[in-house]
Every structure is written in structure tokens, then in C-alpha cells.
Amino acid sequence: MSGSLFDRWRAAPDEPQAPPAVGLQLWLDDQARVQRLAGPLRTLLALPTQAAARVQDYLEPHSLLVLEGEPGDWQGQPLDLAFRTVVGHALQTRGWLQRHGQGWVLQLFDIGDLLREQRWDRQRPLFGEIGHALRECGAERLAQTTGEQLQVLAGHWQASALCLMLRAADGWRRYASSDPLWPWPDDARLQGWLAHRPAATPVQIHNEPELLALCGCASLLLVPYRQGQDAEAWLLGADVLQPPPDDMALALARTLAEPLLARLRHQQLQQQSRQLDHLQQQLGAGGWEWPLDGNLQLDPVVAGSFGLPRQMNLAQWLAQLHPADREPAQLALAQAREGHALGLGVRLAEGGQRWLHWAGQRQGNCLRGFVLDISALKQQQQQADAAQARLENLIASSPAVIYVQRYVDGALHSDFYSASLGPLLGWGADSEQARQPALAVHPDDRPLWLERTRALLRDGQVRCRYRLRDARGGYHWMLDEARLLRDDLGQPREVVGLWLDVSEATDAAERVRQSEERYRVLVEDSPAMICRYRPDLTLQYANRPLADYLQRTPEQLQGENLGQWLSDSQRQAFEQRLAALTPEQPVSSAEICLQLPGRENAWWVWADRGVFDGDGQLLEVQAVGRDNTEVRRSQQQLLQGAKMATLGELATGLVHEINQPLNVMRMAVANALTRLEQGTAEPEWLEAKLRRIEAQVARAERLVQHMRVYGRRSLVETQSFAAWGAVEGARALLEEGLRGKGVSLCLEPPGEHSQVLGHQDQLEQVLINLLVNARDALLEQGRAQPWIRVRQELDGGRLSLLVEDNGGGIAEGLHERIFEPFFTTKPAGVGTGLGLSVSHGIVSHMGGRLTVANGEEGACFRVELPLHSTS
Ligand code: ADP
């Protein structure tokens, strides 16, 4: 503005002269109606539309000065008027009114700059205060201080409320406001709105009813603060009565936002750096720098965590390292200086337990990089290495080879073998066999090998056995377990497998198989009858001879019960015998008698062996049997023969025995006849005679009957009988004959007649033999009063019949021999030497013993038998 003109014009207010054509002139009539406009500023004015508009109609609604009354009243004082313009902002003027002819002329000058300067001058302390407050307050009071400054500003601007919005990661955030209770719209709605606002100049909003309603105000002032193109902050003012000019508004927004954002950014950086420090501490990582002509400088965090100085020269740095790592570190550093990347693991000298990864690169005249604590990693690696070494060692010393075969175009190529290949097969890792194991496969097993590969590719895994030739030409049975690995697309990639040397196991299995086969053949072809049966006598297996004997096939016999061929008593005895088997005494043998339908009874010599479980429970019985029927039959014949011999022996006695009743009868008959002839035969006398004859007939009949019974063959089944009965039987046959020879037979009958099990006729035969032998000894000795005594003794569960004579006894050396078959001391044709031998057999068969000892005057034979309780 031109000051001199303004002054000049003002200096002579009363002179009616034409005003200079500067600024703005308005000619007015007495009602202040504008007649004419002049001056260069007139082009800026926004002209009112009505005709004969008054000067007030040209002014801003909020003009500082309100013109009231008529022009005559406005004289002699400076008039500060704000005109509406076509450029947006008001034209601030100052002027004076002067009479000009009939009307008035209002001379005005542009004082916008002046006002602005004045305003700036007024506001300047405010800028200073705001900036100072925001820069100096404590970090924690930053938001509060901002709010306080907004309050101050709101006072200056006469605004209802001010609010500062800052850009955040997720949009606009309200950072502070002058009035915490003011209803600023929530961020989401304001955000959309602010996003489309150009951030160039402040904006006054009067015509967005929705937004204004949200903000609870009639007008809204938006002042941006921007850096570059984009707004970083918005200052929002509600109902601002004294809005600052745009440039001041922008400047104030900047005064607020700039230090605030700087501090916030600083805070953010500080926090990030704290986090980074924390992270570095946790990781044990940190940076380092090494100017080519200076010292190594370590990040304080990493220096602290490793206990290293923050600055070191080369020698000091190397001294900190483990002696073994110094040379590699020095070489790597030299290379890094030449531009190579640095990256190696080094141990610290102290203890050698802490590992660093030292990495870096040359940048200009400086090496830069970082160090990282990799102790834990190294330890894990060392543990893994140790485990790996152990595993490899284990594999190398085990009879197993691990191999890998690569899959290429449908074929498998050997790729890897574990170190155990050498010890196991003697193959070198790159030998011909290792490359092509197929060549080392036993010719007989080649089909197996080909099938293995096919199965692998088809099924993805295989388990088979074949023989491989070792370096010395010997074959090993190998168990091969392999698996096919596929890539992500399912294409075969490689085979990982394991060879286990199972030669020993295979050979052993083969030996067992062969031996089993031999035994099977032995059992199958054995003439003996062999079977296995359960304790309840169910057959589990029977060989062919046994099956043939029982007229079945071996298969038919399985599951059959052995008891069906035994009589009840035989079965009972059989089961008793099995019950007596124990793990200590698992074997028992006996002669058993089988009843075969439609056939003669069979005698088997039968040996059982019990198989027990861990608890001593009988699981099954293995048995071997031999048919003894023929032997048995010849034994019986022998027995019969011996019996007959005894009978012959007895014949002499018998003649006498039968003669006796005959003599008695003859005499009775002669007497009776004589009496009849004499006519003196009274009926009573005659009856008495006839009774006597009848008694004698009965006696002879008894004798003959006994002879017939004795001469019969023994029954098959044993029976329970009174042992003394056999003594009586023998007496009936022999007593008369003995008496005829002058030998007295003295029986001492027992109180009770105890029972034994067997055949009575056979025991009788034993006693006859003993009595006859005693008689012979007595007669041979020619004793004056020869006697034979028979008595019975009971001792525990056993019964003894004792036959004693006074015939002088048996020479000591002969006690054993007399039981031998055909041993006799009698003259040829007299003795057979069978009597005692057969008797011994009979007694043994009954479960007893026949023994001899010399008594006081002669031999004493003892027949000892088990008692049989019938209960
Ligand atoms: P044998 O009577 O046919 O000779 P044995 O076998 O019955 O055949 O008897 C064998 C032998 O035992 C007799 O020859 C005899 O020497 C002897 N012997 C048997 N019993 C007696 C006895 N009571 N006293 C003496 N010697 C006896």
C-alpha cells in the first residue's frame, strides 16, 4: 500500500477536492445508496444484485464495523470496512467520508496487509507458546498439553471447540480436543469425509448439514497440515466466530502439528529402538563396524551380553577368540577387506562354549555386519552330531546295511551304503557289486530279486530274503526291507532299505526244519505206535502204525478219545497213572490192555511222557507204545505150561486124593452089601452109610472141580480176591499128597481175609510152586519131622504170605539165581527150573515182590502184594 498517498489524503480531510484514483471510491447519496464506484480495487467487489443498493449491502456480514444511521453520522472518523469480493476473502479497507457536492464520497484504502500484520503480531506470542508447550512438556503429558493448547486457541478464535486429528495406520484418529465432551463424530464417518478433502487450504463448511449435525455445530472450520502432498493432521474448529486468515490458520496448524508429530515420531522410534534392543538382547545379536583404518566397534548390547569390550583392535579381537578359531577369523577378515562377504562361526576364548556367528560386508571404507549368539544352536548341532555318530557307529557294527537306491527312468541305481557294508559283505562302497548288487545275488534267488524290484515300484515297499555273495565268494542270507519314497507329485524318488544278515537264523531254521522232518519221518515210519493226547485222553496226533492197529486213518484218530478202547478199570488205572506224572517225574510206563471190538484183547507196553506248562500243569502227553500181545500170549502159554507141569506134579498126590474117598466108598458099599445079605441092614444104618458115600463123592467132585478151574486159562481182567483163598486152594490140592509123604502142612489162618488184585488161580499156582519146592527140599534132606508153615502178615498197605520149611534153606550164593528161568538143582527130568521164575513174574505182575531168605531151619519165601481196598 502506498503510505504517502494515504497520509496526504488524510491530512486534508476538509478540502473538497476530487479524490485520487487510488484504492476504492464510492459516491453515495444521503441515504448511503451507492451512486458510483471508482478506483482500481472496485473490480474486486462482489456487487449486490438489487437496484440502488446501499453501501452496507457491499460489506461482509461479519464486518467489524456496523454502519448505522446515515452518512452524515459517519463523518470525521476512520471507517474500517470489509467488502465482499469475487475472490473469496474479504477486502479489508479503511477510509473516510467527505462531502462531495450534493452527496458523499467514501475514500477507502486496502489495509488487508496492515491488518494481517497486526494480527500476526498479536498472534505471534501464541505461536511461541504453543510451540514451546508442545516441545517442552513431558512425554506422558503430550496429549493433555495439546488439549490445553487447543483450548487456548479456541479462546482466540472464539470457537466452541477445537480438535486435532492425526493420521494413523488405520486412518484418522482424534488425538486431542479443547473440550473432551464435545461430540466429534466417530472416526469412521469423519474419515471417509476427510479422505476426499483436498489438503491445500482451510475450508469453512456451512452447507453439509449431516456432518454439521454430527459435529454438533452450525459451521465447521477444517485446517490441514500437510507434508508433501498428503495431509498429516487436520485441525477441526466448531462454530469459529473469529476465523483466522487462511495463512495464519495453516501456520497455527503447523505450529501445533509439527512439534507434536516430531515428538510422536521420536517416541515411536524410541519405542522401536527399545524393542530392538530387547530383541537383540534376547537373540544375543547386534551390529558391528570396523573402519578400514580404525578399530572394531561392537553394539553395546552384544558387547554386554558376551562380556566383550566395545572397542578393540585386531589383536585384541583375536585374543578374545578361541585359539583354534583365530587363524580362520583373521583370514576371513582379510578377505572381507578385499570385498568378500564375511560369515563364519567362531568360539570365544573363555571356556570355548559360546559360539558367535560373525557376518558382514565391506561398505566403502568400513566393514559392517552383525554378530549372533549361536551357542544354543551349536550345542544342539554338536548333540545331533554326537547322536549321528553314535547311530553310524551302531549301524557300522550291526549286522545290518542301510542303503539308498535312486530311481531313474524306471530303474534303481545304488546311491549309498552304510559303512557296515565292508564288514558284512566285504564289498567296497564303489565296487562292482555295490554298484550292481543284482550280480551278487545267488543264481537260484534271481527271480526273487527281480520280483523285489517289481514289488517295490508297485506297492511302495517290500520285505523278502535272498542270498548275496560276499567278497570271498560265500553266500549270506539277507533279509531285505525296503521302502520307496516319492516326491511331492507322487513320482518315485528313491528307495531306502535295510539288509539284515539272517544267515545264522536261516541256517538254524533250516536245521530245525530238517531235524523236524527227520523226526517226522522217524515218527511216521516208526513201527512203534506214537501219539500225542491231552490229559482228558483226546488224541491230537497218532502215527500210522497206531491208526492201522485201531483200523482208522491218522486223520480220523485226531480228536478221538483213547479211553474208548479201555475197560472201566483199565481206564481208571490209566488216569491214575497220568495223575501221578509230575514235571520232576514226567515219565511212566505200564502194560495196558485194550478192548478191540470183534477182536481178541490187545496188550500194549505203553510209555507216557507228560509235557507241563510253567505252573506244573499237565498240557499234553506224548506216548510210545509197542504191541505186547504176542509176548503176553506166549507168557500165558508158558504159565499154562508151568501150570500143567505142576498139575502133572500133583497127579501122584491126586491119585491118592481120589483113592481115599473111593476106598471109603468101597468099604461102605461092601459093608452095606454084607448087611443086606445077612438081612441086618436096618434102614437107619443103611442111610448113615449112604450119607457117608455121598460125602465122599462130594469130596472127590470138589477136587476134580478145583483141578478143572486151576487148569483153565486165566481171565483177561484182574479181580479182587482174598489172598488167603489162594492158600486154601493150594492146600486142597496138596494136603493129602504131603501127608502121604509124612510132611505136615501147618496153616495159620489170618483174622481177616484181606483182598489183593489179580487172578486167584495164578497166586494159587505161586503157592503150589512154593509148597512143592519146600516138600522137595524136605524130602531131599530126609528130615525127621518135616513141616511147612504158611501164614499171612499185614504191614501198611501191603500183605505178605510167608511159606517156611525146615528143609535146611538155600545156599547163600543161589538166592538170586533160583529165580532165573531154567535154574534147578534137581536131577534132570525132575526139575524144570521154571517154577520160581514163573512165580516171580506172576507176583511182579500183580505189583508185588517175591523174595527169599533163610529162616532158622530152612528157606522162607515171602510173597508181598499191594492190598486192594474195595471201597
Ligand atoms: P525146580 O523146582 O524145577 O528145580 P524151581 O525154579 O522151582 O525149579 O526151583 C529152583 C531151585 O531152587 C530148586 O532146584 C532148588 O534148588 C531151589 N529151591 C527152591 N525152593 C527151595 C526150598 N524151599 N529149599 C531149598 N531149596 C529150594
pLDDT in tens, 442-466: 999 999 999 999 999 899 999 999 9
| Distance from Cα 591 to the centre of ligand 1, integer Å | 29
| Distance from Cα 778 to the centre of ligand 1, integer Å | 11
Residue type, 136: E
Query: For 817, left (φ over 0), alpha (ψ -120 to 50), or beta?
Result: alpha
Residue 37 in this model has a pLDDT that exceeds 70: yes
Residue 727 in this model has a pLDDT that exceeds 70: yes
Residue 561 exposure: Cα atoms within 13 Å on the Cβ side: 9
The atom number, within ligand 1, closest to the CA of 835 reads 7
Write out the H or E segment, with its range, that includes residue 268: helix 246-283
Q: What percent of the chain has pLDDT over 90?
A: 30
- The band of 807, judged by pLDDT with boundaries at 50, 70 and 90, is very high
| C-alpha to C-alpha distance for 224 and 195, rounded to whole angstroms | 12
Let me know the angle formed at the C-alpha of 262 by 261 and 265, rounded to the nearest 5 degrees: 80
Query: For 467, left (φ over 0), alpha (ψ -120 to 50), or beta?
Result: beta
| C-alpha to C-alpha distance for 323 and 348, rounded to whole angstroms | 9
Query: What is the reported pLDDT for 749?
Result: 93
The atom number, within ligand 1, closest to the CA of 825 reads 14
Give the β-pairing of 618-627 and 755-758: unpaired
- The band of 649, judged by pLDDT with boundaries at 50, 70 and 90, is low
C-alpha to C-alpha distances, 439 to 174, 442, 444, 784, nearest whole angstrom: 84, 8, 12, 105
Q: Which of 223, 151, 141, 155 is nearest to 182 (CA)?
A: 151
Q: What percent of the chain has pLDDT over 70?
A: 94
**CB-based contact 584:562 (threshold 8 Å):** no
- 111-125, 141-155, 540-554: which has the minimum mean pLDDT? 111-125
| C-alpha to C-alpha distance for 853 and 871, rounded to whole angstroms | 34
End-to-end CA distance of the chain: 158
The atom number, within ligand 1, closest to the CA of 823 reads 10
Residue 602 in this model has a pLDDT that exceeds 80: yes
The DSSP output letter for 17 is: -
| Distance from Cα 510 to the centre of ligand 1, integer Å | 62
| Residue to mutate (ligand 1; options 639, 768, 773, 861; most atoms within 8 A of CB) | 773
In degrees and rounded to multiples of 5, residue 666 shows phi and psi of: -60, -50
**CB-based contact 99:30 (threshold 8 Å):** no
- The band of 12, judged by pLDDT with boundaries at 50, 70 and 90, is very low
Secondary structure class of 354 (helix, strand, coil)? coil
| Distance from Cα 656 to the centre of ligand 1, integer Å | 24
In degrees and rounded to multiples of 5, residue 332 shows phi and psi of: -65, -40
The 10 Å Cβ neighbour count of residue 401 is: 26
- Orientation of helix 142-157 relative to helix 246-283, angle to 10°: 180
| Distance from Cα 825 to the centre of ligand 1, integer Å | 7
Residue 3 in this model has a pLDDT that exceeds 50: no
The 10 Å Cβ neighbour count of residue 687 is: 10
| C-alpha to C-alpha distance for 134 and 175, rounded to whole angstroms | 13
Nearest alpha carbon, ligand 1 atom 21: 773
Residue type, 607: A
- 181-185, 188-192, 202-206, 294-298: which has the minimum mean pLDDT? 188-192
Residue 676 in this model has a pLDDT that exceeds 60: yes
Which parts of 679-759 fold into alpha helices (H)?
683-711, 723-740
Range ranked top by mean pLDDT from 372-376, 425-429, 745-749: 745-749
Dihedral of CA atoms 711, 715, 719, 722 in degrees, nearest 10, equals 0
Nearest alpha carbon, ligand 1 atom 26: 810
| Distance from Cα 823 to the centre of ligand 1, integer Å | 8
Pocket of ligand 1 (CB under 6 A): 769, 773-774, 777, 805, 807, 810, 818, 823-826, 831-833, 835-837, 858-859
Nearest alpha carbon, ligand 1 atom 15: 825
pTM > 0.85: no
- Average the pLDDT over 425-437 and give the result: 89
Nearest alpha carbon, ligand 1 atom 4: 824
| Residue to mutate (ligand 1; options 734, 738, 836; most atoms within 8 A of CB) | 836
Which parts of 202-245 fold into alpha helices (H)?
209-215
**CB-based contact 222:203 (threshold 8 Å):** yes
| Distance from Cα 428 to the centre of ligand 1, integer Å | 88
Give strand pairing partners of 355. 347
Residue type, 480: D
Query: What is the reported pLDDT for 15?
Result: 46
**CB-based contact 106:26 (threshold 8 Å):** yes
| Distance from Cα 133 to the centre of ligand 1, integer Å | 150
Cβ-count burial of 733 within 10 angstroms (0-12 exposed, 13-18 middle, 19+ buried)? buried
| C-alpha to C-alpha distance for 281 and 268, rounded to whole angstroms | 20
Query: What's the distance, CA 575 to chain centroid?
Result: 49
| Distance from Cα 834 to the centre of ligand 1, integer Å | 9
Three cell numbers written together for 367: 566393514
The DSSP output letter for 298 is: E
Query: What is the reported pLDDT for 1?
Result: 44
| Residue to mutate (ligand 1; options 779, 818, 840, 842; most atoms within 8 A of CB) | 818
| C-alpha to C-alpha distance for 317 and 311, rounded to whole angstroms | 9
| C-alpha to C-alpha distance for 589 and 605, rounded to whole angstroms | 7
Cell 464417518 belongs to residue = 189
Secondary structure class of 675 (helix, strand, coil)? helix
Cell 539308498 belongs to residue = 404
The DSSP output letter for 431 is: S
* Averaged pLDDT score across all residues of the chain: 86
- 113-117, 434-438, 759-763: which has the minimum mean pLDDT? 113-117
| C-alpha to C-alpha distance for 294 and 290, rounded to whole angstroms | 6
| C-alpha to C-alpha distance for 542 and 557, rounded to whole angstroms | 7
Let me know the angle formed at the C-alpha of 599 by 598 and 604, rounded to the nearest 5 degrees: 140
The atom number, within ligand 1, closest to the CA of 805 reads 23
- Orientation of helix 629-678 relative to helix 723-740, angle to 10°: 50
Nearest alpha carbon, ligand 1 atom 19: 773
The atom number, within ligand 1, closest to the CA of 861 reads 23
| C-alpha to C-alpha distance for 329 and 317, rounded to whole angstroms | 10
Secondary structure class of 841 (helix, strand, coil)? helix
Query: What's the distance, CA 757 to chain centroid?
Result: 66
- Residue-range domains of the chain with CATH: 2-110 (3.30.450), 126-274 (3.30.450.40), 284-380 (3.30.450.20), 398-507 (3.30.450.20), 526-627 (3.30.450.20), 718-871 (3.30.565.10)
The atom number, within ligand 1, closest to the CA of 837 reads 6
**CB-based contact 773:803 (threshold 8 Å):** no
Nearest alpha carbon, ligand 1 atom 16: 825
Determine the length of the chain. Answer: 871
- 153-167, 201-215, 442-456, 787-801: which has the minimum mean pLDDT? 201-215
Query: What is the reported pLDDT for 64?
Result: 62
Give the β-pairing of 91-100 and 587-594: unpaired
Residue 48 in this model has a pLDDT that exceeds 70: yes
- Average the pLDDT over 151-164 and give the result: 90
The atom number, within ligand 1, closest to the CA of 858 reads 24
Q: Which of 232, 187, 17, 208 is nearest to 221 (CA)?
A: 208
Residue 13 in this model has a pLDDT that exceeds 60: no
| Distance from Cα 818 to the centre of ligand 1, integer Å | 7
Three cell numbers written together for 799: 500183605
- Average the pLDDT over 776-791 and give the result: 91
In degrees and rounded to multiples of 5, residue 834 shows phi and psi of: -105, -25
| Distance from Cα 810 to the centre of ligand 1, integer Å | 8
| Distance from Cα 320 to the centre of ligand 1, integer Å | 117
Radius of gyration for the alpha carbons in the chain, expressed in angstroms and rounded = 72
| Distance from Cα 838 to the centre of ligand 1, integer Å | 12
Residue 21 in this model has a pLDDT that exceeds 70: no
Q: Which of 103, 118, 139, 122 is nearest to 30 (CA)?
A: 103
Strand order, beta sheet including 79-83: 34-38, 24-28, 103-110, 91-100, 79-83
| Distance from Cα 767 to the centre of ligand 1, integer Å | 13
Dihedral (CA of 596, 599, 600, 605) sign? negative
Q: Which residues contact residue 590 at a Cβ distance below 8 angstroms, ignoring those fewer than 6 apart?
A: 573, 574, 577, 605, 606
Residue 725 in this model has a pLDDT that exceeds 80: yes
| Distance from Cα 761 to the centre of ligand 1, integer Å | 21
Nearest alpha carbon, ligand 1 atom 8: 833
Nearest alpha carbon, ligand 1 atom 3: 831
**CB-based contact 470:476 (threshold 8 Å):** yes
Nearest alpha carbon, ligand 1 atom 12: 818
Three cell numbers written together for 284: 544375543
Nearest alpha carbon, ligand 1 atom 20: 773
- Average the pLDDT over 712-717 and give the result: 66
| C-alpha to C-alpha distance for 668 and 752, rounded to whole angstroms | 39
Query: What is the reported pLDDT for 519?
Result: 82
